[in-house]
Structure 1
Amino acid sequence: MIMDDGRKGLAILGSTGSVGTQTLDVVRTFPDMFDVVALACNRNLELLGRQIEEFRPRYIHCNGAEDEKSRLLTNGMRECDLTELVCQDEVDVVVTATTGDVAIAPTLAAISARKQIALANKETIVMAGEIVTSLANSEGVDLMPLDSEPNAIWQCMRGERATVSKLIITASGGAFRDTPLGQLSSVTPEQALRHPTWAMGRKITVDSATLMNKAFEVIEAHWLFGMPWQDIEVVIHPQSVIHSMVEFVDGSVKAQLSKPDMRLPIQYALLYPERIENSRIERFDPVATGSLTFQDWERER
């Protein structure tokens, strides 16, 4: 339920990770729009403690020693498991910003409780896409993608879904985009973590370097938007300015452009269907940006 003061109640799973911390940045920008009802993380209890002190959630979930966890519980705060946490009455939107399959069960529970889902956890759709989307459709729940590429598709399709003919997902190419093929066998994890345009978590940065992340996004696009596999295309776009494109039956193409900043798609999802000015987001300058280029991805990589 929306709070009496009009704020949306948020449950953030993975609050100490990259997407989780940037979600809280958006909350800081719009404190009158959101109430942080619940926070969940794995083992970064130090950061979780600081988040609890700042945002005063009523519910938390974390892993760690019992004495460490008990020190976090203040002012009547409760610890509960993820499926219970996301179903609390005060929660309107569940942000799934974890990695791995841990988000599947709480996502299904939240959908059954008719909570809106702000979806950053790719594994939920990759592993259980048909189950999740079918349940969301039957319960009338919005699945709002937070990742820049599916979020861009969602924005471009808005109001015109019936006339879409193709989805074009862009990829930066990751850390090894320009690495000669003969050198790929000797690259290191440290090199894989040097993404050329995005600042992201470690797992997604490595997945970007191997293009596994893009494979996940193709699967996401298939289930989230109901597009046939043959109508989903991937192109390399080194500048990471165009986040995805949508082609329509008449040949027109819409593209969503912005500086690489995860706070923008997060804000779009959390404030949907409204758009509100955020002076902290750097604006796209086409002249300063210069040329935008595209290339096919190399199958042999």
Structure 2
Amino acid sequence: MKARMLTGASLAAVLALPVAAEAAGTLSAGPIKVRDYNMTVLGTDSGAKDTLTVMFNRTSGKSTQQHMYSFDSGVKVTKTSMKGSLGRYGAVNLKLGTVRKTKGRVPAGCTGRAGSARSGTFTGSFRLVADTTYFRTVTAKKLPGVGITGGSIKCSGDGGTGGDGGGGGAGGEPMLTHTKMDGAAMFTFTARRGGQTAMQMEDQAATAPARIMHMISGGGQGLTVGGGGATATAKGISPDLSGTGVFTGEGAAGNVVPGTLGGDLRARFDSIGAINIAGDAMLMNP
């Protein structure tokens, strides 16, 4: 597996972290290539309960696919190391050798302490038994990475730059949602005019000690609403979302229209296979 080295630009956004991040240190190892994906290992020093997250990401055509494995027990994260057992999923024992230090700056008009980063190479051992179908067992002995220490910065006017606060359906945009359960595993699909998202959250009781999530995001023409707001069509965004979903509302159009999503729309996840997107759904009109 060929490592991709970090650049100074990738650190800029994390060196002036807000007050809330002061107690936590974060380690980021990777990315390295695993099949068609980039894999990154993130460790967070949260005090009493450290966490480790392994993320696989790839982009193909107009869609992005992500698979995430999170562990919040059995691991210890310090400013320079990630170590611990992942249970049946493997183990991690990585230490960061520092080759360069970067210190953030307190912006003009602000007070406090800026964050800092140590960039270098993680060495040791990493083993993740991700699945038996696609990723299988992933191992690594050397990964590029960085250790980040949060700052404590306060600026006049903090709290007023949180964006427009818009959520689903904000700005006059319709949204189609579909949710179904397979035991305690939950699958959700969301379509807007600008894109689609399909996500599978696995049953945590079955996957313990890991929390596992799979997600596909596609950008483009994701939803077309008709019938005065009572019907909709969602054409899958290639290559990971295929087919066409047809929503038929029950009753007259309104702000929230319950109904049924039919058709042959499918989400194709590399590691867990294809999921048919059909069943009870809801169309939210602006």
**Range class of TM-score, shorter chain:** under 0.3
By percentage of residues, which structure has more helix?
1
Query: TM-score when scaled to structure 1?
Result: 0.25
